[in-house]
Amino acid sequence: MKVTLGISNRHVHLTEEIYKNLFGDAPLEVVKYLGQPGQFASNRFVTIKNGDRKIEKVRIVGPFRNYNQVEISRTDSYNLKLNPPVRSSGDIEGSSPITLMGELNEISLDKGCIIANRHIHITKEEVIERNLAGIEKVQIKIDGEKAGIIDNVYLKIADNSKYELHLDTDDANAFNLKTGDELEIIAKK
Amino acid sequence: MKVTLGISNRHVHLTEEIYKNLFGDAPLEVVKYLGQPGQFASNRFVTIKNGDRKIEKVRIVGPFRNYNQVEISRTDSYNLKLNPPVRSSGDIEGSSPITLMGELNEISLDKGCIIANRHIHITKEEVIERNLAGIEKVQIKIDGEKAGIIDNVYLKIADNSKYELHLDTDDANAFNLKTGDELEIIAKK
């Protein structure tokens, strides 16, 4: 069983309220639609900061959400001197505080920075079609010189999903993977 | 069977000739001895460049060698817009050209940039003691939230080695590993 890879670079999701605080009335516009329906790379970037450490040009992914979340890699976390937990998107209780700089303001969030877990977007119909019912997570088998197995890949079941594997840049670069690669799923009941 | 991890950050090995060209008579001094006998983190750094892309403060690892080699991660290679091969240290024929900047000069090498393969330093006596005779490469099993298997880990057999696993920062960060971690080897005959 195969799945297509989409590599997630560091990015942020914002509420409309926080966005307006950072950018005022400047519109959040679509630059490019992403794999998951309705999600888009926007025309706006923030700088993310922790003390004197910062990473510039971190893209806002739209549309607005009802929470603020900064998704970075472990490599980024060392550069920022943060130690965020590995989490599912939206599961931000107790995650790392981080500061956002927009064009107008700087806002310190008391939580919201995570390392996204490895996951596959899938509908409940596809779960049944692919004989994955009752399985919480799978493995991905990688071939080539940088071969191996990526474990703890969660099935993220939702209506209106596009079937797609999401890995961060650390996972992708360790295994020399590119967006669009077709990878093998190992599912153990 | 366990092995202790040493994470290799990006670094360079130089001939004495190239070093003198880059730094003149300024001595290459030991800051800290590394895991492998005689190898040391030195007091000198170069900037590595490809066109207008560069990474500053890349440490020279001593002592001098009879070849020039720049070891980077896949993440670094994207930042530099290079596509180096995954290789054993010293195997630099056909590897990527790269430019070095020292305090006095800039030198363009026509080869030498690699991504180091995953490897374990081991003596031939330890190979026999650990029942690894005839095995070219092993796997490393990782537990935890970022679990999995790292494949194609080569046994690098040499006298005067210290038994140690070397991974680059991409591999380490993908699996949330730290220098000093004790990891499980899987050896298949």
Whether A104 is covered by a domain: the verdict is: yes
Last residue in a domain, options A61, A88, A116: A116
Would the pLDDT of B188 be above 90?
A: no
My answer on whether B140 and B56 are in the same domain is no
In sequence order, what are the residues at sequence separation of 6 or more whose Cβ sits closer than 8 angstroms to the Cβ of residue B52?
none
Interface check for B9 against chain A (CB to CB < 8 A): the answer is: no
* Number of Cβ within a 10 Å radius of residue A74: 24
My answer on whether B15 and B38 are in the same domain is yes
Whether B3 is covered by a domain: the verdict is: no
Inter-chain residue contact A145 with B152, CB threshold 8 Å: yes
Would the pLDDT of B15 be above 80?
A: yes
Say what the ipTM of the complex is. 0.94
What is the DSSP-derived secondary structure letter of residue B25? T
Interface test with B, best of A145, A177, A179 (most B CBs within 10 A): A145
Per the structure, how many domains does chain B have? Answer: 2
Interface test with A, best of B56, B140, B145, B170 (most A CBs within 10 A): B170
* Interatomic CA distance for residues A50 and A79, integer angstroms: 10
User: pLDDT value at position A73?
Assistant: 98
My answer on whether A72 and A127 are in the same domain is no
User: pLDDT value at position A188?
Assistant: 81
My answer on whether A67 and A155 are in the same domain is no
My answer on whether B31 and B84 are in the same domain is yes
Pairing outcome for strands A11-13 and A69-71: antiparallel
Inter-chain residue contact B169 with A75, CB threshold 8 Å: yes
What pLDDT tens digit does each residue of chain A (189 aa) get? 999 999 999 999 999 999 999 999 999 999 999 999 999 999 999 999 999 999 999 999 999 999 999 999 999 999 999 999 999 999 999 999 999 999 999 999 999 999 999 999 999 999 999 999 999 999 999 999 999 999 999 999 999 999 999 999 999 999 999 999 999 999 986
My answer on whether A75 and A142 are in the same domain is no
* Interatomic CA distance for residues A171 and B57, integer angstroms: 25
Residue B120: both structure tokens together: 């374990």
Between the CA of residue B164 and those of B25, B31, B51, B63, B139, what are the distances in Å? 34, 21, 36, 19, 14
Whether B15 is covered by a domain: the verdict is: yes
My answer on whether B16 and B108 are in the same domain is yes
Interface check for A31 against chain B (CB to CB < 8 A): the answer is: no
* Number of Cβ within a 10 Å radius of residue A86: 16
Whether B4 is covered by a domain: the verdict is: no
Question: Smallest CA–CA separation between A83 and chain B, in Å?
Answer: 11
Inter-chain residue contact A171 with B174, CB threshold 8 Å: yes
My answer on whether A45 and A93 are in the same domain is yes
- Cβ-Cβ contacts under 8 Å, A166 against chain B: none
Look up the domain containing A65 and give its range. Answer: 10-116
Amino acid at A127: V
A150 to chain B: nearest residue by CA? Answer: B148
Inter-chain residue contact B139 with A151, CB threshold 8 Å: no
My answer on whether B108 and B85 are in the same domain is yes
* Interatomic CA distance for residues B181 and A79, integer angstroms: 21
My answer on whether A79 and A110 are in the same domain is yes
Pairing outcome for strands A182-186 and A2-8: antiparallel
| A·B CB contacts under 8 A | 66
My answer on whether A57 and A146 are in the same domain is no
Last residue in a domain, options B91, B116, B141: B116
Tell me if A61 sits within 8 A of A39, measured CB to CB. Answer: yes
Q: Specify whether the backbone of B120 is left (phi greater than 0), alpha (psi in -120 to 50) or beta.
A: beta
Kindly report the pTM of this predicted structure: 0.95
Whether A179 is covered by a domain: the verdict is: yes
Interface check for B117 against chain A (CB to CB < 8 A): the answer is: yes
Whether A163 is covered by a domain: the verdict is: yes
Whether B158 is covered by a domain: the verdict is: yes
Last residue in a domain, options A96, A116, A136: A116
My answer on whether A136 and A97 are in the same domain is no
Question: Smallest CA–CA separation between B112 and chain A, in Å?
Answer: 19
Q: Is the preceding omega at residue A63 within 30 degrees of 0, hence cis?
A: yes
Nearest to B75 among A75, A145, A175 (CB): A75
Whether B20 is covered by a domain: the verdict is: yes
